[in-house]
Amino acid sequence: MLKILKYSFFDLIRSRWSLIYFLFYFISSISLLYLVGDLSKAMISMMNIIIILSPLIGTLFGIMYYYNSREFIELLLAQPVRRTAIFAGQYFGLSISLSLSFLLGAGIPFVIYGLFRSAEIWNFGVLLISGVFLTFIFTGFSFMIAVRNENRIKGFGIAILVWLFLAVIYDGLFLLSLIIFQDYPIEKLALVLTVFNPIDLSRILVILKMDISALLGYTGAVFNKFFGTQAGMLLSLFMLTIWTVFPALGFLYFARKKDF
C-alpha cells in the first residue's frame, strides 16, 4: 500500500492540476490579505471559499483520477497484491496530494503576512484542518461512487449531485423545514440534521473556534447552546472523523466485492 501511495502521490503532485489548485489558493489568500488588510477578516473570507471549494475539488479529482487510472488498477489486480492495498494506496495518495496543495497554497501567504506573530494562529489551524477533512471525505465519496458505477458519465453526474446536495440543496431544505416547523421545539432535530452534513459541521467547527456569534446561524447557535464552544468543537471533530472513515470503508468494501 505504501508503494502505491508513494507512486500515486508523486504522480499527482507533479501534475499541472495540483499546481493550478495550489496557485488558486495562493493567489486567493494573497488577494484577500492585500484587500482586507486584517488576518481575522481574511480568514472569514477564506472559510467561505474553503468550505465550498475543497469538497468540490476532492469530488472532481477523485472521480477523474479513478476513471483515468482504471487500466492501471486492473493491471495491479492481476498481480499478487491485495485489493485493499491498491485502493487504499490510491485514495491516500490522492487525498494527501490535494491536502498538501491546499495547505501550502492557503498557508504560505498567511505565514508571510505574520500569522505566527498573531493570536489567530490557532483559528487558522482549525480552518486548515476543516479543509483537509473535507478533502478526505469527498475524495472517499468520489471513489465509492466510481467503484459502484462503470459508466463515467453516470459516475460524474452522481458525484456532482452529491456535492451539490450537501453544499447547497441540503441547507435550503433544512432552512425550509425550520420555517415550516418554527412553532415547534426542534432544536434537537436541528442538531441531528446538522450531523448528517460534513460541510455544515466544518463551518460550525471554524465559527465556534473563531467565536463569531454573528455568523453562527441557527444550527451553530444550537450547537453553542447545547454543548458550549469547546464541547461543540469536539463533537464536530468527532463527527468529521466518522464522516472521513465512513466513505473510505465504503469504497474499500465495494472494491473487494466488485468483479473487475
| Residue 4 and residue 85 in contact, taking contact as beta carbons nearer than 8 Å | yes
Residue with cell 479513478: 66
Higher pLDDT, 164 or 204: 164
Report the pLDDT value the prediction gives residue 190, as an integer from 0 to 100: 73
The model carries a pTM of 0.90
Of residues 1 and 63, more confidence is placed in: 63
Q: For residue 222, what pLDDT is reported?
A: 63
pLDDT band with cut points at 50, 70 and 90 for residue 129: very high
How many Å apart are CA 114 and CA 121, to the nearest integer? 9
Region 33-53 average pLDDT: 86
Q: For residue range 59-118, what is the model confidence (pLDDT) as tens digits?
A: 999 999 989 888 888 888 888 888 888 888 999 999 999 999 999 999 999 988 888 888
Q: Can you give the pLDDT at residue 260? A: 65
Report d(CA 101, CA 235) in Å as an integer: 27
Show the cell assigned to 193. Answer: 440534521
Phi, psi of 94 (to 5 degrees): -70, -45
pLDDT recorded at residue 160: 93
How much is the pLDDT for 104? 94
Q: Specify whether the CB–CB gap between 100 and 13 falls below 8 A.
A: yes
**Domains in the chain, number:** 1
The DSSP string of 91-138 is HHHHHHHHHHHHHHHHHHHHHHHTGGGSTTHHHHHHHHHHHHHHHHHH
What's the pLDDT at 34? 87
Domain containing 211 equals 2-257
Please determine, for residue 138, whether its predicted confidence score (pLDDT) is greater than 90.
yes
pLDDT digits (tens, 9 = 90+) for 206-248: 877 776 654 555 555 666 666 556 777 788 888 899 999 999 9
Segment 142-195, tens digit of pLDDT: 999 999 888 889 999 999 999 999 988 887 887 787 778 777 777 677 777 778
Structure confidence at residue 216 (pLDDT): 54
3-class secondary structure for 160-184? HHHHHHHHHHHHHHHHHHHHHCCCC
